[in-house]
Structure 1
Amino acid sequence: MATHELIAKPDTVHWGFYDASLEPVMRIRSGDTLEVHTESGREEYLAELGTRASQNLRDIIEQVPQELGPHIMTGPVAVEGAQSGDVLEVRIHEVKTRYDWGYNAIRPMMGGLPEDFPYTRAVIVDLDLEAQTGDWGAGVKVPLRPYFGNFGVAPPPAVGRVGSYPPSAWGGNLDNKELISGSVAYFPIFNEGALFSVGDGHGCQGDGEACLTAIETGLSGTMEIIVRKDLQLENPRAETDTHYILMGFDPILDNAAKMALRETIKFLGELRGMSRDDAYTLCSLAVDLRITQIVNGVKGVHAMLPKSLFA
């Protein structure tokens, strides 16, 4: 299978949205490997960053219109043979930081505590690529654990152009910190070619993404892209070496938790032929519900189902 390199620059990105009408910037075959290099940044940080900001990022900010959301998305990539009703399997072999900087921001009327922090604050975070830590001068260094916060396929054509802020059935702004190197994500496909896009690199993030952002930074990722015609999904799923991950999204956090539970019960029926009653009991005894994020308008909860239960 072939390997393709995709570098974020003005002619390979769309800023702030997903849209099934976008022309693909690259075409690949099922089973091919995609090496993608993303950018993250805003115009107001460029002066402070100086030469640390890449020319590609500067060109994107100058030339590409931002619409609906803040995320610079690389793609879309069309996958040969992908059809509506199929599933796109994304095997994330490696994710690593590209640069020695990232940023974190608080913005008014946003984040988990908008009433307590009604102002803008942005800090550049220095990334030590050897020690794999981030430092913004607060007297503490955080360990890096890079992953892509926003990736997925194009939404159904009838949905039109949608902002990159919320997570949904096509993926989008999942902000799930478990999707690091070695994880696998699955997305229902709604369009010919799937039209896969990726962006919103995170150097690290806590569950909840409390203040609004993670360490936002450019990342490089190596992903194997596979069309699965033997699967059918209504919503994204994922797995790591140790857990199956079932996701729920809703503006109301309780409803997001309910969706994650229902997805888990459904999955246990598919995986083990388990009755709904037994699956619900197992959720109570062994499944962890984690708050994915509370800051994207549509909140996220993910259920962590240990694979060790079925060893």
Structure 2
Amino acid sequence: MLHHLPATPETILWGHLDPAAAPVLRIRPGDSVRIDTLSGGPRNLPGEGSPHRPLDSHRAVMAAQKPDLGPHMLTGPVYVEGAEPGDRLIVEVEAVDFAQDWGWSAIEPGFGLFPDLAPAYESLVVPIDAARGTARLPWGPEVALAPFFGILAVTPSQGRVSSVPPGVFGGNVDNRAFRQGARISFPVQVPGALFLAGDGHALQGDGEICDTALETALNGRFRFELEKGTAPEAPEIEIGEAIITMGFAADLDTATGQAASRLLDWICAHTGLTRREAYRHASMLADLSITQVVNGQKGVHCRLDRRSLSGARGA
């Protein structure tokens, strides 16, 4: 079954995830949902005289709500029937579409990798050509867009939390692989999983060094599957022939160790290799990348082409 979840004042959590939030949609495993999302606050809207216009739904949410704990507008939560802590929720990103013809990018004193570089808050509006899949940057270049969701999450169990730091529940991961064609496994934290989506990006490099990328409103279609009792330690991404594991910590060393260790776990679970053999295999064939450095909890991801294990013992 295909459902539609629009972005409205009744379906948006602005700045937080909350296990006490009432579900706005209930679905069954195997269902798909088109989820509409919004991006940015009043400071990020096109100014007077701009050819670009905010979505009516965006204006309605800003008129009805204020941000609480964080800046991100999250659509949901979606309750998945039968999902319980310890289960694996698999979310397939079936489609990603632009919801508007503009994006924004902001710098702000005290934020980003170079917090002293911005003398004042400055938000740029960047036109988006969805038909061509390009954007013209204010300083000249035309760039190809690669849209993805910065936030896909199950709700954590520890009470209301800010939308800013990512964690084992997902959240503000800002991983460019959260795009069309990805299958993302989440460890269910609370009954029903309480899935949310938001923080659309039109384009971002690994690291997101100035605290924002090219942010925009996206609509996505997601298919939900459930595996009982097989929760991963943290989100895992399958896209194309790649498996991607992730780590989140206050420092990059710890996050790196988590991401790499979780890849070794995956190799050992899917082959007959020992952990030492998996260690060597990953050193030869896996790639570590910095996901983002600006969300409080830093992110690192480890990518392996699964075809590299063809012929491995037990594979």
Fold conserved between structures, TM > 0.5: yes
Q: Call closer, same or farther: CA 1:105–1:192 in 2, change over 3 Å.
A: same
In structure 1, the residue matched to 2:136 is 135
What is the distance in 2 between the residues matched to 1:274 and 1:63? 55
Unaligned runs of 5+ in 2: 311-315
Q: Does the Cα contact within 8 Å between 1:124 and 1:136 map onto a contact in 2? A: no
Matched with 1:74 is: 75
CA contact (8 A) 1:123 1:136 kept: no
Give 3-state SS (helix, strand or coil) of 2:300's partner. strand
**Residue of structure 2 equivalent to 1:212:** 211
Q: From the superposition, tell whether residues 47 and 146 of structure 1 become closer, same or farther in structure 2 (CA, over 3 Å).
A: closer
State whether residues 5 and 35 of structure 1, in contact with CA within 8 Å, keep that contact through their aligned partners in structure 2: yes
Give TM-score scaled by structure 2 length: 0.95
Paired residues of 2:15 and 2:71 also in contact (CA < 8 A): yes
SS at match of 1:11: coil
- Matched residue of 2:203: which SS? coil
Q: How does 1:163-174 map to 2 (within 5 A)?
A: 163-174=162-173
Q: Which residue of 1 aligns with 2:160?
A: 161
Q: Distance in 2 between matches of 1:46 and 1:124?
A: 8
Letter in 1 for 2:212: T
Quote the offset at 1:46 in angstroms.
3.4
Distance (Å, rounded) in 2 between the aligned partners of 1:284 and 1:29: 40
Q: RMSD across aligned C-alpha pairs, in angstroms?
A: 1.3
Summarize the alignment of residues 187-266 of structure 1 with structure 2, pairs less than 5 Å apart. 187-229=186-228, 231-266=230-265
Q: Deviations over 1:192-248 (max 9, x none)?
A: 111000000001110001111111111111110111115222211111012000001
Q: Aligned residues: percent identity?
A: 40
Where 1:123 maps in the other structure, the secondary structure is strand
Cα 1:178–1:33 shift into 2, 3 Å:
same
Tell me, which stretches of 5 or more residues in structure 1 are unaligned? none
Distance in 1 between residues matched to 2:297 and 2:51, nearest whole Å: 35
| AA aligned opposite 2:104 | Y
Separation (CA, whole Å) in 2 of partners of 1:76 and 1:247: 23
Question: Partners of 2:300 and 2:118 in 1: how far apart?
Answer: 24
Secondary structure in structure 1 of the residue aligned to 2:214: coil
- CA distance in 2 between counterparts of 1:84 and 1:191 reads 5
Question: Which residue identity does 1:12 align to in structure 2?
Answer: T
2:277 match: secondary structure? helix
Where does residue 288 of structure 1 map in the other structure? 287
1:110-168 deviations in Å (ceiling 9; x for gaps): 11111333432210010011221122321112211111100111101xx1110010110
Match of 1:12 in 2: 11
Structure 2 distance, partners of 1:27, 1:285, is: 44
Shift of 1:77: 0.4
Paired residues of 1:26 and 1:75 also in contact (CA < 8 A) = yes
Aligned residues: 308
For 1:45 and 1:136, the matched residues in 2 are separated by 16
Alignment check: 8 A CA contact 2:43 2:123 kept: no
Report the residue type matching 2:67 in the other structure: Q
Whether 2:96 is the aligned partner of 1:95: answer yes
Report the CA distance between 1:66 and its aligned residue: 0.9
Q: What are the equivalent positions in structure 2 for 1:19-30 lying under 5 Å apart?
A: 19-30=18-29
- Aligned equivalent of 1:145: 146
Q: Give the corresponding residue for 2:313.
A: none
User: 2 CA distance for matches of 1:132 and 1:232?
Assistant: 36
Code of the aligned partner of 1:253: L
Contact 2:137 2:143 in 1 (8 A): no
Q: 1:65 Cα deviation (Å)?
A: 2.4
Query: Deviation at 1:45?
Result: 3.4
1:76 and 1:195 in contact (8 A); partners too = yes
Q: Kindly provide the amino acid, as one letter, of the partner of residue 154 in structure 2.
A: V
Aligned partners of 1:283 and 1:83: how far apart in 2? Answer: 32
8 A Cα contact 2:40 2:71, kept in partner: no
**Distance in 1 separating the partners of 2:119 and 2:89:** 40
Alignment TM-score, normalising by the size of structure 1: 0.96
Q: Structure 1: which 4+ aligned runs deviate by more than 6 Å?
A: none
CA distance in 2 between partners of 1:51 and 1:269 (Å): 51
